[in-house]
Amino acid sequence: RTARFTVDPDFTVGPVDPRLFGSFVEHLGRCVYTGIHEPGHPTADEDGLRTDVLELVRELGVTAIRYPGGNFVSGYRWEDGVGPVGERPRRLDVAWRSTESNRFGLSEFMTFLRKAGPEAEPMMALNLGTRGITEAMDLVEYANHPGGTELSDRRVAHGDKDPFGIRLWCLGNEMDGTWQTGQKTAEEYGRLAAQTARALRSIDPDLELVACGSSARGLPTFAAWEATVLAETYEVVDHVSLHAYYEETDGDRDSFLASAVEMEAFIEEVVATCDHVGARLKSSKKLTLSFDEWNVWYQRRPNPHPVEDWQEAPRLLEDVYTVTDAVVFGTLVITLLRHADRVAVACLAQLVNVIAPIMTEPGGPAWRQTTFFPFAQASRYGRGTVLDVRVDAPTYPTDRYGDVPLLHATAVRGEDGGVTVFAVNRGRNEPLTLEVALRGLDLSRVVEHSALADADPEARNTPDAPERVVPHAVEGATLVDGTLRAVLEPMSWNVLRLR
């Protein structure tokens, strides 16, 4: 079986915004405490940050990091997380029924970012659940104003002389969700988001603002929510958010492997809704998308860890990912790249311990989950311009999405002229031959063919076997007379680097 496509530098999707490789740190479970922050850990630095985790975060290659939630932010008072640590209040976090010590807050997060790699930048979420315009303005003034006002001087007195310069702000989180503290109707949220956006822009017109779209494509309010919210906010925001999580249900692996079909539809429907609102407003502006929560997440599985209400840093959402999950995850990364013309920001939810590519044990090791690898490789090699890839591939039947192509793929041309092909063979049992016609590209060799695949589809990395699943080099790919030929193993994620 053979799948084919042609690439030509004259036919492009668009440039990749580095923020497509963003992630997410929420005060949830052990993402912050014993995840990134664990004073007393043998690898902790002078700021209590785990340097073993920092090393992995840098290797992962994350850019924009969303903080501090998630559902958590909709009950959060940002003032609790600034100033002397010993004076910070302990509070109930009603979103996750945990106790929040506030030992980690804004200043600690900015310190973490400074160490998290050259491209790490903040994406701050504002509480528009229990709070409003004033508190949002206060936080922007505290964080970004140089000095000479009560709030900016408070930051200086807290030890942060230089303003944080945070550009990217989310106007709330999942405000359509019944589970959200302070959930709103689209009309209520649209007005509040627009008024907050105007107030923040009057402090700093250059802020980049994200309006909340739907928390899931399957919600009954999807698309109508976006249309109503954007009718209010279109001219004062830059991006609209999308959130999506995928999981295998009822043992239907073939449909799970086709999850990207749903993600593509979601992106295209939100783009269409944005453009429809823009047309109605006779606006020349085009909104972009912030896919600020995406991942594989087994929401229907019971938590295997015993957790009591109001614990500090309980073990929540600690999904252990298989090689199958990593292959699906790879198709989601490919989908984001395939829509680089409209997806400006995307955040892998989340970064450490909570549905995360990096896991830790308190006082113990940190290791890479299977999903670490597709993300790290895409962030490393998926920079430049996405080429238009139209796949011609054999299909396989799925219950949920009908006939689906066995191949999901994209190609990115770097500034040096090299091209990287990212390709997934969704077929569970058969290899797939890939043929790519490379037109108008001065390429002569395959630098590397790396694959993530395993004879055991349930293979995973654990503290006892942290490197059970890692990418391996594949021999045999050729580039002759402008055609790349390679064999993709059954159910595999592949990276083919061409020069």
- Which residues contact ligand AHR (rule: CB under 6 A)? 26, 28, 69-71, 173-174, 215, 293, 349-350
Tokens of residue 144, six digits: 């970004």
Query: What is the CA 416 to chain-centroid distance, rounded?
Result: 27
Q: How far is the CB of 180 from ligand AHR (least distance, A)?
A: 8
- Shorter beta-carbon distance to ligand AHR: residue 125 or 271: 125
CB of 491 to ligand AHR, least distance (A): 26
Distance CA 301, CA 55 (A): 31
CB of 442 to ligand AHR, least distance (A): 43
Residue nearer to ligand AHR on the CB measure, 71 or 127: 71
Question: Which residue, 70 or 330, is less far from ligand AHR as judged by CB?
Answer: 70
* Contact call for residues 406 and 48 (beta carbons, < 8 A): no
Which of 26, 121, 135, 174 does the annotation list as catalytic? 174
Q: At 467, which amino acid appears?
A: E
d(CA 130, CA 69): 14
**What is the residue whose two structure tokens read 């709330």?**
172
Task: State the minimum distance, in angstroms, from the CB of residue 215 to ligand AHR.
Answer: 6
Q: Extract long-range pairs of 75-81: CB within 8 Å, 24+ residues apart.
A: 75/127, 75/129, 75/130, 75/181, 75/182, 76/27, 76/127, 77/127, 77/131, 77/135, 78/105, 78/106, 78/127, 78/135, 78/138, 78/139, 78/142, 79/138, 80/105, 81/105, 81/106, 81/108
Q: Nearest distance from residue 78's CB to ligand AHR, in Å?
A: 17
CB of 188 to ligand AHR, least distance (A): 19
Question: Is the CB of residue 51 less than 8 Å from the CB of residue 43?
Answer: yes
Contact 123, 113 (CB under 8 A): no
CA proximity to 6, closest of 432, 391, 426 = 391
Residue count (the chain):
499
Q: Please identify, using beta-carbon distances, which residue of 233 and 350 lies nearer to ligand AHR.
A: 350
Annotation says 293 is catalytic: yes
Which structure tokens are listed for 93? 């976090």
CA nearest 212: which of 290, 275, 134, 132? 290
Do 111 and 85 contact (CB within 8 A), yes or no? no
Q: How far is the CB of 174 from ligand AHR (least distance, A)?
A: 5
Residue closer to ligand AHR by CB (options 28, 210) is 28
Is 121 among the catalytic positions?
A: no
Q: Both tokens of residue 246?
A: 């995928």
CB of residue 26 to ligand AHR, shortest distance in Å: 5
Q: Specify the residue, 69 or 427, whose C-beta has the smaller distance to ligand AHR.
A: 69
Decide whether 69 or 490 has the Cβ nearer to ligand AHR.
69
Among 100, 121, 208, 293, the one annotated catalytic:
293
Q: Please say which residue, 16 or 359, places its beta carbon nearer to ligand AHR.
A: 359
The count of other CB atoms within 10 Å of the CB of residue 30 is 25
Burial grade of 291 (CB within 10 A; 0-12, 13-18, 19 or more): buried
Respond yes or no on whether the N-terminal peptide bond of residue 369 is cis (omega within 30° of 0): no
Residue nearest to ligand AHR (CB): 70
CB-based contacts of 217: which residues, under 8 Å, 6+ apart?
242, 244, 262, 265, 266, 269
- What is the set of active-site residues? 174, 293
